[in-house]
A = this chain, B = another copy of it.
C-alpha cells in the first residue's frame, strides 16, 4: 500500500500548488473568490442571483460546477451574469486542474467577486481548497437540523453558513437550537444567515458580509 500512499501524496501536493497559483492570480487582480458548497438542490445558483442583486456595483463572475448539464449557466447568463460552465463528467468535486482551464477560458480580469459553485455534495467539495479565499456553505431548512452532526467537515471549514429555504420552516421540523449547537461545536466564528432565495429574506445580510470580506 505504500506506493498508493506516496502516489496520493504527490497528487495532493501538486493540487495544492495549482490551488495556490489560482489563489495568487485572483488576489493579484483584486478578485475575491468564494467556493460555494451545498447538497443537490440547496439553492446555490438561486443564492448567487439573490446576492448579486444586492451588489449592483460589483463586477461578478461565476464558475458553475456540475457533473453534467449547463442548466444553471443558462439561467445566470440569461440574467446578464458572466458565467461559465465547468462539467466534471462524473467527479464529485471541482478539481483544480479543471478549474484552472476554466478560469483561463473565463479570463476574469477586473477586480470583483468570483463565485465558484461547487458540485452538489456536502462531502467531497469540503475536502479540497481550490484557490478560494472563503468557503461558504449553504444548507436548507427542509434538509433537517442534524446536518452539522453528520457532515462536520463542511461546517468546520465554512467562513459563513446560509440556512436557505427558511420560507419552509413552518412546514418542516427544523430545530434551530439543535442546529446551532452542532454548528458552534465545530465552528465558533462563521456567521449563520437564515435566508430564503424564494422570498429574498436574509440575502441583504449575506451580501453585506461578502462586501466586508472583499
Contacts and interface: CB of A to CB of B under 8 A. Distances in A.
Interface of A: 3-4, 7, 39-41, 66-69, 71, 90, 92, 119-124, 127, 139-140, 142-144, 146-147, 149-153, 165, 167-168, 171-172
* 9 nearest A-B residue pairs (beta carbon): A41-B143, A142-B142, A92-B123, A39-B40, A41-B144, A39-B39, A69-B149, A40-B122, A92-B124
A66, A68, A150: most-surrounded residue (chain B CB, <10 A): A150
Contacts of A168: 142, 168, 171-172
Contacts of A146: 69, 71
Given A143-B40, A149-B71, A172-B168, A124 B124 contact: yes
A84 to B, nearest CB: 17
Contacts of A152: 67-68
A121 B123 CA distance: 8
A176 to B, nearest CB: 15
A106 to B, nearest CB: 21
A3 B39 CA distance: 33
Q: In the complex, which of the residues A40, A71, A121, A150 has the most CB atoms of chain B within 10 Å of its own CB atom?
A: A40
Contacts of A39: 39-41, 120
Contacts of A124: 92, 121, 123-124
Taking each of A41, A119, A146, which has the highest tally of chain B beta carbons within 10 Å of its own beta carbon?
A41
B40 A147 contact: yes
A3 B7 CA distance: 10
Contacts of A139: 41
A167 B142 CA distance: 11
